[in-house]
Amino acid sequence: MSHLAHASDLFINDQAVPEVLTATHLYQPPAAVPGSISSIDRELIVASGARNITDVLRLVPGMLVVPDSGNLTTVNYHGTSPGQARRLQVLIDGRSVYRAGFAKVDWTNLPVAIEDIQRIEVFRGPNTVSYGANALLGVINIITVSAKDAHGTVLKSNLGENGIRDWYARQAWHSDRSDMRLSLSGLADNGFDKREDGSDFRDGRRLSRFNLRANHQLDERNSIDWQLAFKEGSNQINNHYRPAFAEVINPRADEQDDNSDEKATDYGASLRWTSIINSKHSISVQGDVQQWQRQREWRACDAQLAFSPELNELWRISSAQQREDLFNRKRISNASPRQDYLQNWLGSKLLGPIPLPHSCGLISEESRESRFDLELQDTYSVSDSLRLISGLSYRYDQARSQTFLNGRQRKDIIRAFSQFEWYATPHWLLQGGGMFEHDSSNGDSFSPRLAVNYLFTPAHGLRAVYSEAVRSPDMFENHADWRYRVHDLRPQVSQGSTADFFISAQGSGKLKQEKIKAYELGYNGHFAAQRLSIDIKLFEEKITRMISHRPRLESFNLSNHDHIKFYGGEFESNWQATSKDRLRLSYAHIKERASNALDQDIAPPHSGSFTWLRDWQNDWSSSLMYFAAQQLDKNDLQLANLRLAKQFNWGDKRLTVAGNLQKTLNNQPIGRTNNKDNSHDKVYATVQLEF
């Protein structure tokens, strides 16, 4: 901004101010952003020793990272049910990896290695105006290393306890006008292994990834960036299935499977063309294609009665309360109250001696989701004080599942968006814009944002922001047709070796979009001489028409009746204290009022992190990271990461050897209560060779 170069500059001493991209698709100094944004740079990612993206997201104030098992972690901002984190948009180089069919982000299954990540920008607040529905609470933008910034060969391995066996290989090629980066990687571990009560807990994982990124400079004004990504693997899952008539059948152990592991395969491809028309005007077109596949199968048993068409019909015509009563009764024993209830509920169907005759068959849970996304974006500087960004996009989403959707669901989304950035004076910055979205399943919506920044200098500013955003119900929430067709029944039932289980669930098709209204006051400052950056945020957010649920086959009654309100403050600072010491601090104070018990007492009232990076000279370095949260999903979090590394250099070759320790500092599980105390404790070594 040339018109700001002459402004009174009390702090930055003409040093460059770092810029961020995620807030508005425009590069902006953090003080000029219409909201709060955190940036986790490459140095922090490497120093953390993290094997998972979710581990470094704990550095972001207000971000809730809750492991449910060793291979399933949810990431949420501020709160709402941690088991169903549905309200964050997640991007990899601009490609959304939010699954519209089942409203989730599979963090374990993302087709990107942490070694390929250049930085992670997190916009902390509603941002539907820039990224469409589902950026309800924030946006996580994972930005990978550009092909032109990757050089030579990199080989890396992690080896340690809990079955940690990771590997990574990268090769880069360069020519006059083209650059290419290829990486292959794998990750494996045994998960937590033990439940809180000490029993076995199968939650390990194994995955392999392929990533190819290329940049081509066609001429001085035109460039193309394209990517291919692939991931395949399996996640161990304990079989949580419990027969409807478990207490009145007596199957043998060898007739059922204890495990029901998931096979996961993801594909992704993107192509982006950028044309710089002149110094004030540029356009870009990006197209993405993606596919997610999930498959689980296991053998289980139930009473032959459970496969009868008569019982299926009885379930269909029963009221929601009758169904709830059936499954909330105490477990059956002979002549128990629940058995009497079943007798009345089923009528003559439950006559005869106990145990009832049973059959065992193959149960399958499968899904396939695909997406095509095309976006045109135009950036135009009308003058030195006014910039405009606008665009159009079309997205096609499809989900197929015989189990969850009884076939196929699809939707088309058309978007039009525009934002402006206007420096009314060198100190006053006004930003605004909106996103219009037509969703063939959920109708039309409009999400606006208006922000005013007062800039003392380009590096120091106050902000006031008002924004609205929406989240569309996913295909499963709105159009579920959830039923199990059981195959290979032994012995056969009257219908043969294939029959429908009597319990099923249907979505209403009438759910509306969730909506949030958010207010924010904040300050961002960059003290270049002191090498210190600070961000402070005060916020109030209210989500209405909220859909709160943990999906259950026997109780699937979703509505827009719930709401939640968050308010509090956040603080983040980054300080290069000396040439050898870097300190980072984050803190969040969150209060919430929720109408549904599922969303109550989830957000910790106090949480934060402390990071110390140290260069000890002679190529020795260390990092210490401490994370704490009070009552994160009803458990206190105290977690420390320690890394010590030594680097060896031989000409253009570099070898790095590091030891990594992750240690819980109290005797409580991390987040959820089904993993063992101190289950996050692990030690592993890292060896990396670059040449």
Tell whether the model's pLDDT for residue 104 goes beyond 70. Answer: yes
Mean pLDDT, range 493-512, rounded to an integer: 91
Q: Are 192 and 676 in contact (CB under 8 A)?
A: yes
Mean pLDDT on 41-65: 95
| CA 332/CA 355 separation, integer angstroms | 11
Task: State residue 22's pLDDT score.
Answer: 85
Read off the pLDDT of residues 389-418 as tens digits, 9 standing for 90 and up.
999 999 999 999 999 999 999 999 999 999
Query: Where is average pLDDT lowest: 54-68, 123-137, 239-253?
Result: 239-253
State mean pLDDT over 636-664: 94
What single DSSP character describes residue 676? Answer: P
Span 509-530, average pLDDT = 95
8 Å CB contact between 472 and 135: no
Q: How many residues does the chain have?
A: 691
What's the mean pLDDT in 344-358? 61
The structure's pTM equals: 0.92
The predicted pLDDT at position 660 comes to 97
Distances (CA, A) of 432 to 127, 130, 537, 538: 12, 11, 19, 20
Query: Residue 85's pLDDT is what?
Result: 73
Residue 503 pLDDT > 70, yes or no? yes
Does the structure show a pLDDT above 80 at 328?
A: no
pLDDT tens figures, 432-459: 999 999 999 989 999 999 999 999 999 9
Residue range 36-57: mean pLDDT, rounded = 95
Q: Inform me whether the pLDDT recorded for 329 exceeds 70.
A: no
CA 614 to chain centre: 30
Predicted confidence band of residue 16 (pLDDT cuts 50, 70, 90): low
Of the pLDDT bands very low, low, confident and very high (cuts 50, 70, 90), residue 239 is confident
Using one digit for the tens of pLDDT, what is the confidence trace for 254-275? Answer: 898 888 899 999 999 999 999 9
- Looking at the predicted structure, is the pLDDT value of residue 521 above 60? yes
Given the candidates 2.40.280.10, 2.40.170.20, 3.40.50.300, 3.30.9.10, the CATH classification of the domain at 2-303+363-690 is: 2.40.170.20
Question: Locate tokens 């000396």: which residue?
Answer: 578
Q: What percent of the chain has pLDDT over 70?
A: 90
| Least confident residue range of 2-16, 117-131, 608-622, 635-649 | 2-16
Amino acid 534: pLDDT: 97
Domain boundaries, the chain: 2-303+363-690
Banded pLDDT at 287 (limits 50, 70, 90):
very high
Could you tell me the pLDDT band of residue 327, with boundaries at 50, 70 and 90?
low
Q: Whole-number mean pLDDT of the chain?
A: 88
The yes-or-no verdict on residue 8 having pLDDT over 50 is no
330 pLDDT higher than 70: no
How far is it, in rounded angstroms, from Cα 670 to Cα 680? 7
Q: Is residue 197's pLDDT more than 80?
A: no
- pLDDT for 348 equals 46
Strand-pairing partners, residue 395, are: 373, 413
Query: 592: pLDDT confidence band, cut at 50, 70 and 90?
Result: very high
The residue that leads in pLDDT, 73 or 523, is: 523
If one compares 286 and 102, the residue with the highest pLDDT of the two is: 286
CA distance 376 to 365: 37
More confident residue, 208 or 338: 208
**What is the model's pLDDT at position 245?**
81
pLDDT tens sequence across 457-469? 999 999 999 999 9
pLDDT of residue 601: 81
Retrieve residue 213's tokens: 């990124």
Task: Report pLDDT for 21.
Answer: 83
> Is residue 426 scored above 50 in pLDDT?
yes
pLDDT of residue 12: 40
% pLDDT > 90, the chain:
69
Q: Which residue has the higher pLDDT, 377 or 555?
A: 377
Please report the DSSP string for 466-514 in residue order: EEEEEEPPPHHHHH-EE--EEEEEES-BTTBS-EE-S--EE--S-PPPE
| pLDDT tens-place string over residues 175-190 | 999 999 999 999 999 9
What is the gyration radius of the CA atoms in the chain, in angstroms? 27
598-627 average pLDDT score: 94
Calculate mean pLDDT across residues 127-139: 91
The pLDDT assigned to 341 comes to 47
Q: Which pLDDT belongs to residue 27?
A: 86
Beta strands in 555-691 (DSSP E): 562-575, 581-594, 606-617, 620-632, 635-650, 653-664, 682-690
Query: What would the 3-class secondary structure string for 128-171 be?
Result: HHHHCCCCCCEEEEEEECCHHHCCCEEEEEEEECCCEEEEEEEE
**Contact (Cβ atoms closer than 8 angstroms) between residue 605 and residue 581:** no
Tell me: pLDDT of 83 over 70: no
Q: What pLDDT is recorded for position 523?
A: 98
